[in-house]
Structure formats: C-alpha cells, structure tokens
Amino acid sequence: MEKLIEEFSFGLFFWQTLIFVGLVLLLGKFAWKPILNAVNEREQGIKDALDAAAKAQEDMAQLNASNEKLLQQARQEREQMLLEARQFKDKLMAEAKEQAQAEGEKLLAQAQAVIEGEKKAAVEDLKKQVASYAIEIAEKLLKSELSAQAKQDQLVENLVKEIKIN
C-alpha cells in the first residue's frame, strides 16, 4: 500500500478515472438498463404471479364455501323430500287401512245380512216342516184313536172338561 502511495501518478489516475467513468456510463446506457429492466420485469412477473395465486386461492376459498353451501342446501332438500315422502307414505297407508277396514265392515255387514236372511228362511222352512209333520202325526194319531166309537166319546169328554177348566 505504501508503494502505491509513493509511486502515485496523477496522469494515470486521471486516465483510469476517465475510463472508469466512461465504462460506468457505457454500462449504464447499454447494460444496466436492460439488466434493471429485466429485473424489474421479473419482479413485476413475480408480483403478478403472487397476486394471481392469491386471487386463485381466494376464488378457491369462495368456491369451496359456495360448494359447501350448495351441499348443505342439497342435504336439507333431501331431508325435506324424505320427510315429505314418509308423510305421504303414512297418509297413503292410513287411507288404505281405513278403506280396507270400511270395505271389510261393509262385507261383514252384507254377510251378516245374508246369514240372517238365510237363517230366517231356514227357520220358516223348519216351522213349515214341523207344522206339516205335526199335522201328519196328529192326523195319524186321530185316525188310530178315533177309529173306535168309545175312544171318540172319551176324547170329546176330555176336551169338554179342558175347555171348562181353562
């Protein structure tokens, strides 16, 4: 370092300074501007990419929220539809049960009416048959009992006594 200070020359210093300044000006005009422009463009591209990524992330968050909301609405609608379907099924089942019960009661009433009619007809027929048999039996008894004169007289006396008593 001392040697440099001892051998110092103003002419050499002047020319070196002039070349240095000229080199700085040339580099500033031709190299630094394109380098700085490239760096600035790169920086701007990175900023734009970060902004786009942030916007995309925000859009994704909104889309996820929207999808979640739609999914929740779809679940609610599904639950509502299932509830309505269950209520409709229960209503149909109740109506079908009531209709079947009414139809059964109607058929039972008709069957009971038919049975009652058949029963009355059978009782009437039985009464007619019993009356017919009773008349036949009475006729046969009277023929056999009244074939003799003494029996006829005794029957008439008994009937007369019964009439007086009653």
Q: Which two tokens stand for residue 126?
A: 């039985």
pTM for this entry: 0.41
pLDDT > 90 fraction of the chain, expressed in percent and rounded = 55
Q: Is residue 38 part of a domain?
A: yes
Q: How far is CA 43 from the centre of its chain?
A: 58
Hey, which of 115-124, 126-135, 137-146 has the most confident mean pLDDT? 115-124
Question: What domain range is 35 assigned to?
Answer: 15-165
Could you tell me where the beta strands, DSSP code E, fall in the chain?
Answer: none
Distance, in Å, from the CA atom of 73 to the CA atom of 37, rounded to the nearest integer, reads: 52
At residue 166, does pLDDT exceed 50?
Answer: no
Q: Is residue 6 part of a domain?
A: no
Q: For the chain, what is the domain count?
A: 1
Confidence of residue 28 (pLDDT cuts 50, 70, 90): confident
CB-based contacts of 152, cutoff 8 Å, min separation 6? 146
**DSSP H/E element including 32:** none
Mean pLDDT of 59-69: 94
Q: Is residue 78 part of a domain?
A: yes
